[in-house]
Amino acid sequence: MIRRILSFGLASCLLTLLPAGPAGADELPIRKPGLWEMKMQRSNSPMPEMTMQQCTDETTDKEMSTAATPLAKEICSKRDIQKTATGYVSDSVCGVAGVSITSHSEITGDFNSAYTMMSTSHSEGGTAAMKGDHVTTVEAKWLGACKPDQKPGDFVMPGGMKMNIHDMDKLKSLIPKGMLKQN
């Protein structure tokens, strides 16, 4: 069960944080530097609500919202984002390990104190729990300065597991060849 929660959390993080889109597309604003708490809830899922924390700064946020994220180019064939009157709308098509995910997200908030992302997605392939239509809600709020033992890019997952977004390239090397697929 813990393994499923951590896998779901890692996958959710990766899909939630993938870069926005090609040159010329709108970009999300940079979040206020410091410690952000993100609560994720996924409908039609046996997984419980999950709360993570991320330490960020301007450089890390820019890296996560541009093509610098190592996996994005390999797993997503579409990554578009547009500014709207109330926030941002993002559409993506991504695939990894035989799972194809098409998603539409609406993001509202000020990126200085709190924002909400509501994402509807359709998944094909993978386990029964992954297949079908899902709604994921991410509520993020700024908590203050990062903790003394944290550096920008650090995520603290449920159960205290810590990872850094800059280590994603290392994680990519653990995925067997042929598992990453471009849609």
69-102 burial code (b ≥16 CB/10 A, e <16): bbbbeebbeebebeeeeebbebebbbbbeebbbb
Global pTM value: 0.74
Predicted local confidence at residue 173, as pLDDT: 59
Predicted local confidence at residue 20, as pLDDT: 41
Predicted local confidence at residue 177, as pLDDT: 55
Encode the chain (183 residues) as per-residue pLDDT tens digits: 333 433 444 444 444 444 444 433 577 889 999 999 999 998 876 678 899 999 999 988 887 765 445 566 677 888 888 999 989 998 989 887 788 889 999 999 989 999 999 999 998 887 776 778 889 999 999 999 999 999 999 999 888 888 888 776 665 555 555 544 444
Predicted local confidence at residue 169, as pLDDT: 60
